[in-house]
Chains A and B, each alone.
Chain A
Amino acid sequence: MNITFVLNGKTVHAETAPDENLLSVLRRCGVMSVKCSCDTANCGCCTVWVNGKPTLSCAYPAPRADGQEITTLEALTEEAESFAAYMADEGADQCGFCNPGFVMNVLAMKRELTDFTEENVRTYLAGNLCRCTGFASQHRAVAAWLKNTGREAAEV
């Protein structure tokens, strides 16, 4: 079946099987930042935004994407690079496989949260699993980046 959706600001027509997931269609469209890692909807590597909301593209039925707006890391290069510098500074960028999904969720968090307490940040990013870092370096990078971009915990 054919679907039409907006991918990173451009209208795209794609062929999909009825039971295919969005991740597979995106990779066929040349979007290689999205990856399937756990295959059980747990790891967050496949995170994209559907109408601005971070979503697991491995579980999102591709036919459902018809008429929707899909955003991937490829559309957020500048902002992602600015955050990636903080990841590098903290040594949080190791094998890098989970980075695109993690960055997509970090950028979504920055748009959605209003109070960037450590607990709120950790809760928001809990769905992105990393086998290398143990998360401490990632969270240091996120905290430094938030601080330097004017997003901090609200005054109590």
Chain B
Amino acid sequence: MLFSSYAAPASPDEVIALLGKRNNRIAAGNLWLRMSRRTGGTMIDLKNLGWDQIEETDDAYLIGASVTLHMLETHPGLNAMTGNLFADAFRAIVGVQFRNAATVGGSLYMRAGFSDLLTALLPLNAAVLLYPEKEIPLAEYARLAPAGELIRGVRIPKQEVRVAYRALRNTAGSVPVLTCAVAARGSALYAAIGARPMRAELIGGPGEAPESLAAELTRLTYGTNRAASEAYRRHVAGVLFARCAGEITGKETQA
């Protein structure tokens, strides 16, 4: 038995109260949770909170925690702003049925190293919205350990951006061996490199040149696991970065 009871609270305060008990968990997409070894406690379902919408304001897109990956990848406004970034980043995540279940909040809370979502969001200057009201820059949030916090959503600022995404998978549909997103905003250039296999990290800033960013990403920490070696990942990071940078600047850079 995974859980001994189920609750779908009508208010976030009730969710917070339930999270006060150690064994209770939020079930988001329930894709990883269902395979976990755990017993007892309450499965908390956020379905009655209305956090499954993408709201457009004057200066941002507010993505509810229960918005699915498929909603994000098919949103016309986000696709227009980012040149189909999320469609590019998610198309190899298992299948549409999986992405109709996997949620933005669930993925970000896990902070998985292989997260295509985390890698794609980082260079967009996104922020995580918590309940009670608190906003944390995503780059900062990604470094924190999961601590039972309640994610309400994500804010993606509206921006003029050119962004490209590449990931390498050993097998179609499996988790990536390396992920790379590169974004140019004004004179600033950013890159997020994930699945190293550590969580994605954001580098770059105003006035950054592709060549200096390419050098910087070789200095990130990479690791070895069953899927790939540290040296291979470091090499692939340079290749994927060069392809992304080439796509957004229209010229090749040295990897």
Contacts and interface: CB of A to CB of B under 8 A. Distances in A.
A64 interface: yes
Nearest to B40: A19
Interface residues of A, number: 30
Contacts of A123: 91
A12 interface: no
B97 A54 contact: yes
Contact of B4 (A18, A42, A60, A128): A18
Nearest to B6: A18
Interface in A123-155: 123-128
A56 B6 contact: no
Interface string B170-205: 001100000000000000000000000000000000
A26 to B, nearest CB: 15
B123 interface: no
A82 B143 CA distance: 52
B96 A54 contact: yes
A44 interface: yes
Interface string B88-106: 0001101111101100000
A64 B45 contact: yes
B144 interface: no
Given A18-B43, A42-B173, A127-B173, A61 B97 contact: no
A47 interface: yes
B49 to A, nearest CB: 13
A152 B183 CA distance: 34
B95 A126 contact: yes
Interface in A37-52: 40-42, 44, 47, 50
B43 A41 contact: no
A19 B173 contact: no
A47 B101 CA distance: 11
Contact of B47 (A18, A64, A124): A64
Contacts of B6: 1, 18-19, 61, 63
Interface residues of B, number: 29
A6 interface: no
A59 interface: yes
Nearest to B29: A59
Contacts of B91: 123, 126
A71 interface: no
B225 interface: no
B29 A124 contact: no
A61 B172 contact: no
A154 B97 CA distance: 24
B45 A19 contact: no
A55 interface: yes
Given A18-B6, A19-B43, A64-B8, A108 B101 contact: no
Nearest to A18: B6
Interface of B: 1-6, 8, 27, 29-31, 34-35, 42-43, 45, 47, 70, 91-92, 94-98, 100-101, 172-173
Interface of A: 1, 17-19, 21, 40-42, 44, 47, 50, 53-56, 58-61, 63-64, 105, 108-109, 123-128
User: 9 closest Cβ contacts across the A-B interface?
Assistant: A127-B95, A18-B6, A19-B3, A19-B2, A63-B6, A54-B97, A41-B31, A56-B97, A53-B100
Given A19-B1, A42-B173, 20 more contacts: A18-B3, A18-B4, A19-B43, A41-B31, A41-B94, A47-B97, A54-B97, A55-B97, A56-B97, A59-B30, A59-B34, A61-B27, A61-B30, A63-B43, A105-B95, A108-B96, A126-B172, A127-B94, A127-B95, A127-B98
